[in-house]
Structure 1
């Protein structure tokens, strides 16, 4: 068992405190007041955190500065939800560290540390393009060991879309392997002297040697086990053990790419129901081939919406074939109810009305690289007009928690003054009565405390502020933001069952 965490040094605690003060000041002023001076303070505090050995705090500060710059740029569109998440991450991490809590998860790691894994046999699951908003592009190939451990090989460098598309067929840089990523996604490797990082990345060290192996079909073990459990059960387990991401989780490799290394791929067999707006609607199948009893309608969305990647085109083709049965490997969307971002699809074993893929594809299509054609659909498939279907109620969208979210985003955009005005208007945004009536009593209390703190501006007899610190306001905002994130995650997990 690992030993106790090393206590934080005085320098680390001071660096975290400086980051908290800079973030709290920026939050109190809002985007409009977060100009060059505020950003410079955040960058200075980020540099101090780096010197002190707090890589996660530094990364959170840099992410916030990039978000503020994008939000202030008239030609850029920065969603308030992303900026709100950036503030929540930085404030939470800096608050925990400033309190002297030596939690390694909040301290983070700088360079990815690799440990020796001896000899390991891996089989390809699929490959996924990575395209970030900061100009990086590449590919991640997902792998599985015989005992079910998830590993991956990534190749992400500056280059944007062109590199993301080309990297899918680039050579795999591990131990002189002669496979490319397309071949590895449907093949395997025996890696001798393997090095593996904590997040499951295979390294390409000097002593690593790799030998190609035949691939394993999705119908064979160990891959078949990925499709054996109900999706709701898998999502619930990840919610319980914290592996589904959420508050305080670090950034994925893609940096806004749609790829998220924190959330493992989920497998399930589904039947296409139809289309609704930009969603492909499906129902999960039981092992006996019938629609799983009580299963909700699941929404499938592109893993990346860029039109030059085939995700969107592939889902549109599949939506035009109601009744089609297929095996899906994708990533649960942590911000939407009952939503899956599929990365690859394949035929359902024993099903007649299922995909007809070429033998060279080994029973799977990588939706980010392979373009599905009419010949890949079963004979007699409609393949023309998608069937419009109502997916039913959305637990997250129809809950009154949107009021808390809007209050928090108002604070991000306009600062504490905007929160105070939104809470005391003719129709207050938060509406604590509606929140309590729906069972969100804690959310109502925290939103009320945030509004009260935002409106608290004590002055002396000469009209001067007696407490100009933004500390109490930032703590009230953070408490409400953390609770909202946890409540939304619970609703999303419940929407799968």
Structure 2
């Protein structure tokens, strides 16, 4: 539970964030930014690193928007405001959990003895100049773990780290070997999100790995993708990895269209996990697109913002399939799409076997084509122009007509919340003498946050439904 000092810091941060939201980018100048920075500093002194980081993201977003920097998106600033208001509201109410009140450094707890199997490697390349690799691992009990090696260095380090030595307990193994092998670890330290630590007491020795069609790895590919996606998108954290067997349909720009090898499965879109041309993701997807009908086992991360979209990290042959990948034995039935490059010899000779091959392009996009864009535009209008801009949207001859498509599509709650936000934005109370007075920003901030939270939940539900 938050301490009294943390509750006061959360309440101060909420008040400042509400004022900044009501002002919007047009009035979010030096004064508003200074108030946010002061509240962020107070949060830091109170031991609230997550709240401080959320406030700093909003300040950076306001500066970038006011300076019209390239690449700045209102959607990103709206997401930053939503995170800041949600965090501050939980702290101010005294209900913030360990995720909000924990220390700034990642906490590691004792994990005891572990036996982990490698799944795949993923290159990491950030906009701030960091590069490296994350190797995904699976425990004997099905628990997910990661071992990361990310440092300043950019692209060169992201490419080279895939073959760098594993810095864990003196294990004589590199990340390429670990992704296809395993480790026995004693005295393991593990963070809450499954990251393995390299403390003094940690000891690790290489161990034989498991193939994707052997337990415990085979369980990742046993469930229908739609069922796994619903579970992965249910939480607030970034979605984890899921596996599925698919059949290649063809290319759609830089993306690859596939269909799951199940009855009545929808068309899925595979997009590069990282589009940088010096990494192998895009080139590998292009090679796969040149073999329609190919059966492929895919391990990747579902995209929480796009309908039926998966960012694949590794591929392999489908057990028992005739027309599938032919990978070298040393690759252990998997190719890491960010590091390994598929060649002609890795594909079967000849064309696809006779039989029905999935065809047709993608159907209507339930996410992009839904009328929820009206709610998103309203929220972004508030971020850009403040509460006055939101109030102006309700001054037309038929202000509620804009939400008719939402109601007809079944999004009645979204329509009600959007209408309540517009009404609150235009509300001007009067004092005892009947004179107009400035309304509080708190009610407007609550209305904006409620609309934003509902939009996010509805969006995730549509994404999960697109996989069914």
TM-score tier after normalising by the smaller chain length: over 0.9
- 1:482 paired with 2:453, answer yes
Match of 2:124 among 121, 130, 151: 130
Instruction: Report what 1:278 is aligned to.
Output: 254
- 1:293 paired with 2:260, answer no
Contact 1:453 1:476 in 2 (8 A): yes
**1:426–1:179 distance in 2 versus 1, CA, 3 Å:** farther
- 1:472 paired with 2:448, answer no
Note the C-alpha offset of 1:55: 2.4
Note the C-alpha offset of 1:270: 0.3
Contact 1:267 1:329 in 2 (8 A): yes
- Looking at structure 2, the residues matched to 67 and 204 of structure 1 have their Cα atoms a distance apart, in angstroms, of 35
Structure 1 counterpart SS, 2:323: coil
Instruction: Report what 2:288 is aligned to.
Output: 318
Match of 1:267 among 240, 243, 248: 243
- 1:95 paired with 2:93, answer no
Contact 1:407 1:430 in 2 (8 A): no
- 1:437 paired with 2:382, answer no
**1:300–1:463 distance in 2 versus 1, CA, 3 Å:** farther
Note the C-alpha offset of 1:494: 1.1
- Looking at structure 1, the residues matched to 205 and 217 of structure 2 have their Cα atoms a distance apart, in angstroms, of 20
Instruction: Report what 2:395 is aligned to.
Output: 424
- Looking at structure 1, the residues matched to 359 and 275 of structure 2 have their Cα atoms a distance apart, in angstroms, of 21
Query: 1:226-241, aligned counterparts within 5 Å?
Result: 226-239=220-233
Contact 1:128 1:140 in 2 (8 A): yes
Contact 1:43 1:61 in 2 (8 A): yes
> What's the TM-score, normalizing by structure 1?
0.88
Query: 1:4-15, aligned counterparts within 5 Å?
Result: 6=1, 8-15=2-9
Contact 1:403 1:429 in 2 (8 A): no
- Any idea what the Cα deviations from partners look like across 1:381-424, whole Å, max 9, x if unmatched? 59xxxx99421111111211111011111111222222223343
Structure 2 counterpart SS, 1:343: strand
- Looking at structure 1, the residues matched to 459 and 8 of structure 2 have their Cα atoms a distance apart, in angstroms, of 33
**1:429–1:70 distance in 2 versus 1, CA, 3 Å:** farther
- Any idea what the Cα deviations from partners look like across 1:237-295, whole Å, max 9, x if unmatched? 334xx33x3xxx5xxxxxxxxxxxx321000000011123433111111xxxxxx1121
| Structure 1 residue runs without a partner (length 5+) | 1-5, 250-261, 286-291
**1:109–1:297 distance in 2 versus 1, CA, 3 Å:** farther
| Structure 2 residue runs without a partner (length 5+) | 353-357
- Looking at structure 2, the residues matched to 401 and 45 of structure 1 have their Cα atoms a distance apart, in angstroms, of 33
- Looking at structure 1, the residues matched to 21 and 271 of structure 2 have their Cα atoms a distance apart, in angstroms, of 33
Instruction: Report what 2:418 is aligned to.
Output: 447
**1:478–1:207 distance in 2 versus 1, CA, 3 Å:** same
Contact 1:406 1:429 in 2 (8 A): no
Instruction: Report what 1:177 is aligned to.
Output: 171
- Looking at structure 1, the residues matched to 153 and 63 of structure 2 have their Cα atoms a distance apart, in angstroms, of 22
> What's the TM-score, normalizing by structure 2?
0.93
Query: 1:117-196, aligned counterparts within 5 Å?
Result: 117-196=111-190
- Any idea what the Cα deviations from partners look like across 1:304-333, whole Å, max 9, x if unmatched? 222222211211221121101100000111
Note the C-alpha offset of 1:108: 4.4
**1:347–1:316 distance in 2 versus 1, CA, 3 Å:** same
Contact 1:404 1:447 in 2 (8 A): yes
